[in-house]
Amino acid sequence: SLAEKSLQDDLKNGICFNDLEATEILLSIVNGLLEVPEIIHRDLKPGNILFHNKKWKIADFGIARFVEETTSLRTLKGWLSDHYAAPEQWNFEHPTKRTDIYALGCIGYTLLTGAPPFAGPKREDFKKQHLYDNPPRLEKHNNLLCS
């Protein structure tokens, strides 16, 4: 059966997540990653987190499945998700589990604030922000766009 929605759908529709809901979603993602320890997803983002059978699940392992160690990293530059790509991806370095952990942190930030940690708006802005900037501080643990 098909997924009911993506996490991105909820965010786009202005759905607000409290701390407990955000934590449960993040734990679902972590558990999904732990089920496939040999795979680095490389493109975790709210659009790839789907609600199916009353659970949040990771989808779209396409990049992870088809990229081998011998693949040129420069061929992947078009695959970066600007809001969630880890610094090593911007530098065309080989991704590691830390790549997925970084994206998970960006997703958590998005759940708590209603917006990703960096706003770009251009691709080169995203690169600079992910490489050198700190995200805006979380002054409170409620969704800032829902207050």
Active site residue ranges: 43
Query: Which of 31, 41, 102 shows the shortest CA–CA distance to 66?
Result: 41
| Calculated CA dihedral for residues 1, 60, 48, 4, nearest 10 degrees | -10
Q: With contact defined as beta carbons under 8 Å apart, do 63 and 102 qualify?
A: no
